[in-house]
Amino acid sequence: MRASVKVKLILILIIIALSVYLLYPTLQLAEMDDAEKATLEVRDPQELVTLKSRSVNLGLDLQGGMHVVLEVDIKELLDQIAKNKNEVFNDALEKTAVEVEQTDEDFLTVFERNLIADGVRLVRYYGSRERSSEDEVMSYLRDQISETVNRALEILRNRVDEFGVAEPIIQQQGQSRIIIELAGITDPSRVRQLIGKTAKLEFRLLKDPEIYLSVADKINQFIQSKIAPVDTTITEEEPGEEADSTLSLDELFGQAQQDTAVVDSVLQDKDSLFEQNLFFLDPNRQQTILVPANKEAKFRQIIELSEIQKIISDEAGDAEFIWGAKPEYGGQYYEVYLVFKRAELTGETITEADPRPGSQMDPSSIGKFEVSLTLNDEGARIFSRVTGANIKKRLAIILDRRVFLAPEIQVKIRDGRSRITGLNNMEEAQDLAIVLRAGALPAPVRIIEERTVGPSLGMDSILKGSQSAIYGLVIVAIFMIIYYRIAGILADLALVLNIIFIMAVMAYFNATLTLPGIAGIILTIGMAVDANVLIFERMREELKRGKTIRASIEQGYGNAFSAILDANVTTFIAGIVLYTFGTGPIRGFALTLMIGIVASMFTAIVVTRVVFDYSVSNWSIKELKI
């Protein structure tokens, strides 16, 4: 027996031993059920971490979980920190938002270009004594953006930590994106709420009742003026009808809950924004506008109109409409409030936020849940001053531009305590408390990509994937034995080693196995025998030409090598490209494919060869049946 064969044989055994060693942690983990894992975590948390870092990870598509990509709203941020905003600024901002959807360019660059196209420079909105040149402003804005994203990352990390998810992954991607990966999530919609909320809490005063009246009156006149022309064309038989279709406020008040207040014989264009009875002033409560739930969308559009915006600024000055968080009166009406734009106090001063059941003293909060807030000293001082100065006025508690509560201030509140009421269940209250404690995001975030797999689908995928792999392995193995006999067994050995090697390499790199990754392994099973098929076919040819067994083996391996190499290199190239351009699961597939190619070349060329050589030299084989 030649020495080189012996060396190779030992080398192969070492590699196999190493692979088994590398796979051991993975097998150990797979053997444990959840309870055992929990016990280990208590007993020796470090051990579990080590075990995990040395195993093949299961992708979110296999163990179930959420993959979310958030984008920090740069547009909103730039809007927030700008000074002296004007029409040009708003237009450029809107235009930029549309443009960046189409291109890969970064928001700031496009924004600057758009401003310059309009003959304005960034300095005008972002300049200060320290920043007078365009370059300085640019770098200031870049810093602001990156700081915002960093803060958003930190806050999201706090929220997720408080929510309690094992081993969350939260990282930045590119300039303004944040990736969050959470395994084993059972309630994705809760997580969506938790991470998507800006959690900007504001306390703002409502505008006075007289201003409500005049604004409501003007808006009503405006709406009627839009409806009137339609009336004349459609209701020609009754020309007198629309003579005074403008609703007086007395009517509005007196008959708010009845739909008879308006001319309802009029046929209306269904698509038109404008119709009767779009809103009422709440007859039971001052300073509250009610909008029927089915007309909500229309009214939302109407109040965005520039005419309405003008009415508000003319009549109420520094004010805006903010919607109530939930429909009231049995879900039939939405509340809309006219509030000051300026916030008296914001959520930054919150030190504690505790979820709890609604007070039993207040009939409206029985069965509901709430979050009680405690403010820090500074917050408490401001709160005390604001409440003291505005007794009998209403103060809106606004979270993410929705009014949760707008109580009338009864007394001066000195202890800095407040609460958000009317939450439907304890979970909602808990999640709200989490986001309020973790703080508001410096700019809104949007979910731009989400991939969630439920745990049962993940289990199902593992089961079906491994089933397919086993069936595939068995069929190919049987086929090879039937077709190549003894050599077939050898090829099968190579195949099994191949799979062990793939898994071992993945464990070593702590790589993630995904569903497409399993598919990659299954595909490798089919393709891995190719190298052996090439070699065996070549050996058959050589044997047929009457060469000796030893020479046939030599020639078979030698001549097949260039084909095996070229064929595998090209597939490997495809793998590299996939890995480079692919995302998530596709990368998993590319990874297993590439590892599989290397492993299959090794097993097919080295391992089977050594076995051939060993048997030929040790057992003086007379005949090679392939």
Partner 1 sequence: MQFFGDTNIDFLSKRKIGYIISAIVLLVGISSLILHGGPQWNIDFQGGTLVHLKFEKNVRIEEIRDALTQRGFGESEIKHFGADNEIVIRTGVSEDPAEFSNLVEPMISEAFPDNPFEEQRVETVGPKIGKELVVDALMAVLWAMILILLYVMWRFRINFALGAIMALAHDVIVTVGVFSLLEIEISAPIIAAVLTIVGYSLNDTIVIFDRIRENLKVRQKDADAFIGIVNRSLNETLSRTIITSLTTLFVVVILFFFGGEVLRSFAFALIIGIVSGTYSTLFIATPFVVEWQLKKVHA
Give the C-alpha separation, 476 to 312, whole Å.
Answer: 76
Helix (H) or strand (E) holding 487: helix 486-508
Q: 367 or 526: whose CB is closer to partner 1?
A: 526
DSSP state of 284: S
Q: 265 or 301: whose CB is closer to partner 1?
A: 301
Q: How far is the CB of 602 from partner 1 (least distance, A)?
A: 17
Helices (H), 255-328: 296-304, 306-316
Cβ-in-10-Å burial (0-12, 13-18, 19+) of 32 comes to middle
Q: How far is the CB of 465 from partner 1 (least distance, A)?
A: 6
Q: 316 or 601: whose CB is closer to partner 1?
A: 601
Radius of gyration of the chain, Cα coordinates, nearest whole angstrom:
35
The answer to whether 116 and 146 have CB atoms below 8 angstroms apart is no
Give the C-alpha separation, 503 to 494, whole Å.
Answer: 14
Q: How far is the CB of 101 from partner 1 (least distance, A)?
A: 6
What three-state secondary structure class fits 352? Answer: strand
Check the CA dihedral 296-301-305-307 and report its sign: negative
Give the C-alpha separation, 579 to 582, whole Å.
Answer: 5
Six-digit token string for 614: 């060993």
DSSP 260-279: GGS--SS---TT-S--TTS-
Q: How far is the CB of 16 from partner 1 (least distance, A)?
A: 24
DSSP state of 207: P
Six-digit token string for 360: 């039993």
Q: How far is the CB of 585 from partner 1 (least distance, A)?
A: 7
Q: 235 or 571: whose CB is closer to partner 1?
A: 571
Closest listed residue to residue 428, CA positions, set 370, 376, 467, 387: 370
Q: 225 or 570: whose CB is closer to partner 1?
A: 570
Q: 421 or 452: whose CB is closer to partner 1?
A: 452
Q: How far is the CB of 455 from partner 1 (least distance, A)?
A: 9
Q: 132 or 332: whose CB is closer to partner 1?
A: 332
Q: 229 or 558: whose CB is closer to partner 1?
A: 558
Q: 393 or 540: whose CB is closer to partner 1?
A: 540
Q: 111 or 212: whose CB is closer to partner 1?
A: 111
Q: How far is the CB of 526 from partner 1 (least distance, A)?
A: 4
For residue 55, give Cα distances in angstroms to 50, 493, 510.
9, 24, 6
Six-digit token string for 139: 């770098």
Q: 316 or 599: whose CB is closer to partner 1?
A: 599
Residue 120, number of CB atoms within 10 A of its CB: 16
The answer to whether 301 and 310 have CB atoms below 8 angstroms apart is no
Residue 209, number of CB atoms within 10 A of its CB: 12
Cβ-in-10-Å burial (0-12, 13-18, 19+) of 563 comes to middle
Q: What value, to the nearest 5°, has the Cα angle with vertex 82 and ends 77 and 86?
A: 120
In the chain, DSSP finds a helix count (H) and a strand count (E) of 22, 17
Q: How far is the CB of 565 from partner 1 (least distance, A)?
A: 9
Q: At 521, which amino acid appears?
A: I
Q: How far is the CB of 56 from partner 1 (least distance, A)?
A: 19
Q: 126 or 163: whose CB is closer to partner 1?
A: 163
Check the CA dihedral 499-504-505-507 and report its sign: positive
Q: How far is the CB of 384 from partner 1 (least distance, A)?
A: 38
Q: How far is the CB of 535 from partner 1 (least distance, A)?
A: 10
Q: How far is the CB of 568 from partner 1 (least distance, A)?
A: 7
Q: 284 or 294: whose CB is closer to partner 1?
A: 294
Beta strands in 429-552 (DSSP E): 445-453, 512-513
Q: 61 or 112: whose CB is closer to partner 1?
A: 61
Determine the straight-line distance between the first and last CA of the chain, rounded to whole angstroms. Answer: 23
Closest listed residue to residue 274, CA positions, set 233, 333, 332, 219: 219
Q: 283 or 582: whose CB is closer to partner 1?
A: 582
Give the C-alpha separation, 263 to 242, whole Å.
Answer: 8
Q: How far is the CB of 294 from partner 1 (least distance, A)?
A: 11
C-alpha 387: how far from chain center: 40
Closest listed residue to residue 443, CA positions, set 97, 152, 53, 169: 152
Q: How far is the CB of 324 from partner 1 (least distance, A)?
A: 18
The answer to whether 268 and 230 have CB atoms below 8 angstroms apart is yes
Q: How far is the CB of 376 from partner 1 (least distance, A)?
A: 33
Residue in this structure with the two tokens 């006999």, named with its chain if needed: 485
